[in-house]
Amino acid sequence: MSEIREGLRYSEEHEWALAEAGGGIVRIGITDHAQSQLGDIVFVELPEVGAAVEAGASVGAIESVKTVSELYSPVAGKVVRVNEALIEHPERVNESPYDEGWIAELEVEVETEEALGRLLTAEQYRAHTA
Amino acid sequence: MSGHRDKALIFEMSKPGRVAYSLPACDVPEVEASSVVPARLLRTEPAALPEVYEVDVIRHYTELSRRNFGVDNGFYPLGSCTMKYNPKLNEDAARLPGFAKIHPYQPEESLQGAMELLYTLQRDLAALTGMDEVTLQPAAGAHGEWTGLMLIRAYHESRGETRTKVIVPDSSHGTNPSSATAAGFETITIPSDASGLVDLDALRAAAGADTAALMLTNPNTLGRFESQIAEIARIVHEAGGLLYYDGANSNAIMGIARPGDMGFDVVHLNLHKTMSTPHGGGGPGAGPVGVKARLAPFLPKPVVGRRGDGTYYWDEDRPRSIGRVKPYYGNFGILVRAYAYIRSYGPAGLRRVSECAVLNANYMMHRLAPYYEVAYPGVCKHEFVLSGKRLRAFGVRTLDVAKRLLDFGYHPPTVYFPLNVEECIMIEPTETESKETLDGFIDVMIRIAREAEEEPDLLLQAPHTTIVKRLDEATAARRPVLNCHCE
């Protein structure tokens, strides 16, 4: 079974979000379920640093041997950092979707609790993917 | 890639001085190339061409061609592609000197036979689709889509309307959103309903003053007939949009239903699918486009016209035309083959083609249903969609089933398309296969489903009998080696 990590928040489109320590920053990626559905990931089109994104808007794309999928941001904010290691090593999204395979960090304007509050809990996401 | 029988490149067989030709002595005065060609255009070193004997060239390419797979080798149930047998009669027709040895720049009066064929084909395709006029220029299905969308754009612009959005269902062919984007439109994707058909509420919500068109196949990509097509057409037309019919699935409806009668305004047909012209290997294909009368003024020019005295002419006098979409008059040799096919079957025969295509698909679906989940149960049209997700419990995916089929000499069906079915397997047997061929494939599919449970490694390591074994598609895509050194 795919791992659904406690403590993260989830979107229905299979992205995860995590408030970084220190506040104001949310890290995003795709779930273990999503990477398993996509199969071998061969390319990650990262968002641009500095770009302002809406919650639910497309911020990039993930290409696997099977298909190309849009990457949606689970929160609104400004992109402050992207995981550039994925340019050379897209397979990290498959191998470690919640850690080394993170995709971007966004600066959110509201409190991180509020930004994440609208997303699913691990338990709700488990029900969503069941 | 164990078991891979290495095949030398023809460049690796090269020996200096070897030639595959012998020319007679020159009997005209020789001219130095440097005296007539500017120095900057002249080679300073010989071209890197392989130097081999004629027999080596023949053996090399004959062996490579025998590694190829096509409908003349075996069953090829590639969903959405209609890989039917291509009757050799079509080839005879295309090779008649009057068709094969003409030039598009010949005077009209010396091309009357060829032009009559084109004119008749325009009328036949219009009659089959329920359209008023047809262009034969587009050279492929996606080319036809793009042409059709440019016609739709020209139509809206002629009415002073700016309509920027094209609606497609989530089961649509990938070329539909691509063609819409290439034609300058924005694509809106709407979800399918629980039975795999267009969700009417989602369509109503998406259709509006900015809707240029809805692109649809019917039967759709899941092999289901859009029974609400009249209502779909009403919603789109009331919003001021047009209906585009992707003819990829026409093999299900010939002589039975016509896009024009369903409310479609523009249609493309894939002659390399429905009309049995050669397919795969890059074509050439043909994607004629038919339109209702209100769009006819915008068709690419020229179209073939017929004068009152029965002679034919290139109709260039079409001031509102979007212009040419291909040099000359389409892939003429392919159009001859399609004409031969249509005329040898006739109206009743084409209807029978579609009936048998639908019958074959339903027979296969019913026999396979106990072993692979049918994505949308019910009567299918010319193709059907299975899901291999039950096999995931054994660590096996649809991709592994497809690879295992290679061991039995079959071209696998389409997999992982359409995108809205998990672990998708899309099978289109076509009408040209015997019951024995269908049963042979079904029995192998059932055997593979058993193997998945009992010996999953057989699938995970497949194929075992092919010249190259399981390819590492991920590494090929992640780290492609794109440079070529032909020293």
Tell me the pLDDT tens digit for each residue of B32-87: 999 999 999 999 888 889 999 999 999 999 999 888 898 999 999 999 999 999 99
Q: Does A39 touch chain B (CB under 8 A)?
A: yes
**Within-domain flag for A87:** yes
- Structural domain containing residue A98: 9-118
The pLDDT, as a whole number, for residue B485 is 59
Do B136 and B258 fall into the same domain? yes
Q: Does A36 touch chain B (CB under 8 A)?
A: no
Q: Does A51 touch chain B (CB under 8 A)?
A: no
Confidence band for B4, pLDDT divided at 50, 70 and 90: very low
Confidence band for B2, pLDDT divided at 50, 70 and 90: very low
Confidence band for B154, pLDDT divided at 50, 70 and 90: very high
Looking at the 3D structure of chain B, how many domains does it have?
A: 2
Residues in B closer than 8 angstroms to A65, CB to CB, are 473-474, 477
Q: How far is B455 from chain A (nearest CA, A)?
A: 21
Interchain proximity B478–A42, CB inside 8 Å: yes
Average pLDDT of chain B is 94
Residues in B closer than 8 angstroms to A90, CB to CB, are 478
Higher pLDDT, A115 or B125: B125
Examine the fold and report which residue of B293, B326, B344 is the final residue of a domain before the chain moves on: B344
Interchain proximity A40–B399, CB inside 8 Å: no
- Structural domain containing residue B52: 10-66
B301 pLDDT exceeds 80? yes
B302 pLDDT exceeds 80? yes
Confidence band for B317, pLDDT divided at 50, 70 and 90: very high
CA distance to B66, B68, B298, B469, per residue, from B4 (Å) = 15, 15, 54, 7
Confidence band for B1, pLDDT divided at 50, 70 and 90: very low
Residues in B closer than 8 angstroms to A41, CB to CB, are 474
Do B14 and B106 fall into the same domain? no
Element holding A6 (H helix, E strand) = none
Work out how many CB contacts closer than 8 A connect A with B.
22
Looking at the 3D structure of chain A, how many domains does it have?
A: 1
Do B262 and B328 fall into the same domain? yes
CATH value at residue A14: 2.40.50.100
**Within-domain flag for A124:** no
B450 CB contacts (<8 Å, ≥6 apart)? none
B428-482 pLDDT, tens per residue? Answer: 999 999 999 999 999 999 999 999 999 999 999 999 999 889 988 888 888 888 7
Which value does ipTM take for this structure? 0.71
Do B55 and B98 fall into the same domain? no
Do B231 and B192 fall into the same domain? yes
A21-79 pLDDT, tens per residue? Answer: 777 899 999 999 999 888 899 999 999 999 999 999 999 999 998 888 889 999 999 99
Residues in A closer than 8 angstroms to B416, CB to CB, are 66-67
The pLDDT, as a whole number, for residue B282 is 60
**Within-domain flag for A126:** no
Q: Which of A35, A42, A44, A70 to mutate to test the interface with B (most CBs of B within 10 A)?
A: A42
Residues in B closer than 8 angstroms to A39, CB to CB, are 397, 399
The pLDDT, as a whole number, for residue B118 is 98
Do B220 and B125 fall into the same domain? yes
Q: Does A25 touch chain B (CB under 8 A)?
A: no
The pLDDT, as a whole number, for residue B484 is 63
Task: Look up residue B41 and give its two tokens.
Answer: 């255009």
B73-121 pLDDT, tens per residue? Answer: 999 999 999 999 999 999 999 999 999 999 999 999 999 999 999 999 9
**Within-domain flag for A66:** yes
Do B61 and B140 fall into the same domain? no
Do B44 and B93 fall into the same domain? no
d(CA A60, CA A17): 16
Q: Which of B398, B426, B478 to mutate to test the interface with A (most CBs of A within 10 A)?
A: B478
Q: Which of A40, A87, A92, A95 to mutate to test the interface with B (most CBs of B within 10 A)?
A: A40
The pLDDT, as a whole number, for residue A112 is 81
**Within-domain flag for B354:** no
**Within-domain flag for B175:** yes
Do B269 and B300 fall into the same domain? yes
Beta bridge partners of B314: B304
Closest CA to B412 of B421, B400, B422, B423: B400
Residues in B closer than 8 angstroms to A63, CB to CB, are 477
